[in-house]
Structure 1
Amino acid sequence: MKVLPGYGPGRSPSPGRDRAMASAESVRSALYDQLDAWRGVRYRPGGLSTSGVDCSGFVYLTFRRRFGIDLPRTTRRQAGSGRYVSRRHLQPGDLVFFKTGIFTRHVGIYIESGRFLHVSTKRGVMVSNLEDSYWRKRYWKAVRIPR
């Protein structure tokens, strides 16, 4: 039997850890709800509605509507928000950034297990995997937004 840190005979779970786990689950749930509401909405540069949205606009709207957090509108400014987090320490709600061209950046929202929510230029709002060769080669950085 594997005993998790903070658990075991005579030990109760850490309240801080329980809060963090509950928070991660609520963020994950909100992101899947957002996916259900927006799945397939097409990509449109500068778009901010279900008739078309771009990657940074989708992140902006998701954080505003699901978490009550106002982020900058552009990918460049979103990349400067929050604090850097390593790829191996990603948590639900972290912003993940990619270099998709010399001056072009792409942003998505990490969900769990290597999956992130974003707007594809060809397929619209969808979930992709960080380990897919396209994304793995272009991964740039991630930031955590304080909630």
Structure 2
Amino acid sequence: MVNEMQTISTWILCFLLCCHAKLAEALKCYHCNNLDNPACGVLFKPYQFVAQPCQGHSSRDFKCVLQREPPTGKDDWVGIIRSCYEMGSLSVNETNGCHVMKIAGLTTAAKLCFCDTDYCNHAMVTWSPASGLVVVTSLVVSVLYHFVHPY
């Protein structure tokens, strides 16, 4: 029983390390807009796109961004753009999460959602790495508890 528990603990530790290891590769973000491809829209279909690396010196120079423009016209079409964002290229709050930005020349504003992990601009809601760690840790503790106390 103790050996089995050590083996399971070792596998869980390896899994967590693999999940949180960040390679020295460039950040990978989805690049698309729903004007060219409706699959990039609000109901995003990531299986139709290949995330591309951001071009830069390091992943610290870029974040993934999801830009949502408000509905326009009679069809209530919502503009969605997913891409890499070069830090410092706009005068906007660049912290992870969503921020409103005024669009020059228009009376409306766009919502920019920034994130800094691979493939993170797939959704309107961004999760921080700490949130993911809490969820995974809770799941592991729950599984281990039920393994040790099966009844």
Give the structure-1-normalised TM-score.
0.30
Rg bigger for which structure?
2
Give the structure-2-normalised TM-score.
0.29
